[in-house]
């Protein structure tokens, strides 16, 4: 398994229990996106909610308990054109008879040069990581979905004020999150607004953001010490470029369950899901991938599993 979020670890759990001797290569962000959240209230089975890192710690322990090997490494390249497949990290090379891709998705950026220049100096994609730096300061959150609302509300613990910037006049977020955000006194909204620029790259730190109303064209410069970008995610599929079919947005195309364009290679979780993107759906698809992989391995002629690399 490449990836150790709910998808990768559930695939590992099921594979381990099926005696398939799974190996999980954790990746740089071991545990996936839930490591960057606090209380998870919508993962079934936890009436009082569960902390993201705790849930992932338990998933990891459970997979290991049944025999999954979990390696603290980062995959640098793969070769899916040979059998067994080759998976390389900076220190080792692994051969896999079957491969489950669970590399998830990473935060999207707005794409502004000023944004890129100021990452780590006021621009961030993770409220739980960096909120601490903005105690008593005014900040902005760009986005209109559940993640943006969660980030905004989390940040009110530190910030003096949070301005939510959204390009439309209605939020995408679920009703319950919207109501909470609207009720929070520290949060205000800039509707129909696009971020034109984040200042001040000359000073090397965020001092304000320039917003443009996409209905009226009016421009305003709002002083903020930080800008948190929460506009969605992009799937982590660079490793597989040219080897696996992906859709226009970069998501791995799956069919008949978790099958990819290469037999024996399966994909689960956010890397192949742009519709649901929940921890529970990722975990569910991880289970499916393990079952699909098991069926595939059962159907393989024995010699195809041996380390023969065809020229």
Partner 1 sequence: MDELAGDYDGKVVVGKLNVDENPNTAFKFSIRGIPTLLLFKGGQVVEQVVGLADKDSLKKVIDKHVA
Binding site for partner 1 (CB under 8 A): 28-29, 74, 76, 90, 119-124, 129-130, 133-134, 203-206, 225-226
Pairing outcome for strands 69-71 and 23-25: parallel
Cα gap 272→159, rounded to integer Å: 35
- Could you give the angle at which helices 6-17 and 52-65 cross, rounded to 10 degrees? 20
Minimum distance from residue 94 beta carbon to partner 1 (Å): 16
Closest CA to 59 of 260, 282, 251: 282
Catalytic residue, chosen from 58, 129, 245, 247, is: 129
Cα gap 46→300, rounded to integer Å: 40
Minimum distance from residue 131 beta carbon to partner 1 (Å): 10
- Decide whether 75 or 283 has the Cβ nearer to partner 1: 75
- Decide whether 225 or 270 has the Cβ nearer to partner 1: 225
Catalytic residue, chosen from 126, 196, 200, 287, is: 126
- Decide whether 28 or 304 has the Cβ nearer to partner 1: 28
Is 130 among the residues known to form the active site? yes
Minimum distance from residue 291 beta carbon to partner 1 (Å): 31
> How many CB atoms are located within 10 Å of the residue 67 CB?
15
| DSSP state letter for 200 | -
Catalytic residue, chosen from 130, 146, 225, 292, is: 130
For residue 210, the SS3 value is strand
**Burial of 178: CB neighbours in 10 Å, binned 0-12, 13-18, 19+:** middle
Minimum distance from residue 252 beta carbon to partner 1 (Å): 21
- Decide whether 226 or 286 has the Cβ nearer to partner 1: 226
Catalytic residues: 126, 129-130
């Amino acid at each position: 398994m490449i990836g150790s979020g709910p998808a990768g670890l559930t695939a590992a759990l099921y594979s381990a229990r099926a005696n398939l001797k799974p190996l999980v290569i954790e990746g740089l962000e071991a545990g996936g996106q839930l490591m960057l959240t606090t209380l998870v209230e919508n993962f079934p089975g936890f009436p009082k909610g569960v902390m993201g890192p705790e849930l992932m710690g338990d998933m990891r322990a459970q997979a290991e308990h049944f025999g999954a090997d979990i390696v603290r490494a980062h995959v640098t390249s793969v070769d899916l054109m040979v059998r067994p497949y080759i998976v390389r990290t900076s220190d080792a090379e692994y051969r896999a008879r079957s491969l489950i891709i669970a590399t998830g998705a990473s935060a999207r950026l707005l794409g502004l040069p000023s944004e890129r220049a100021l990452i780590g100096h006021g621009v961030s994609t993770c409220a739980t990581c960096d909120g601490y730096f903005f105690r008593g300061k005014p900040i902005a959150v760009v986005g209109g979905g559940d993640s943006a609302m969660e980030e905004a509300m989390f940040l009110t613990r530190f910030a003096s004020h949070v301005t939510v910037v959204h390009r439309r006049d209605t939020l995408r977020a679920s009703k319950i999150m919207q109501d909470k955000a609207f009720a929070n006194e520290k949060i205000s909204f800039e509707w129909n607004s696009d971020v034109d620029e984040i200042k001040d790259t000359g000073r090397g730190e965020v001092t304000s953001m320039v917003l443009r109303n996409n209905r009226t064209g009016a421009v305003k410069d709002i002083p903020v010490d930080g800008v948190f970008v929460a506009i969605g995610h992009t799937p982590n599929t660079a490793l597989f470029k040219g080897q696996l079919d992906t859709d226009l947005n970069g998501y791995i195309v799956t069919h008949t369950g978790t099958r990819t364009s290469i037999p024996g290679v399966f994909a689960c979780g956010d890397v192949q899901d742009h519709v649901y993107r929940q921890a529970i759906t990722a975990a569910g698809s991880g289970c499916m991938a393990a079952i699909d992989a098991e069926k595939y391995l059962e159907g393989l002629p024995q010699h195809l599993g041996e380390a023969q690399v065809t020229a």
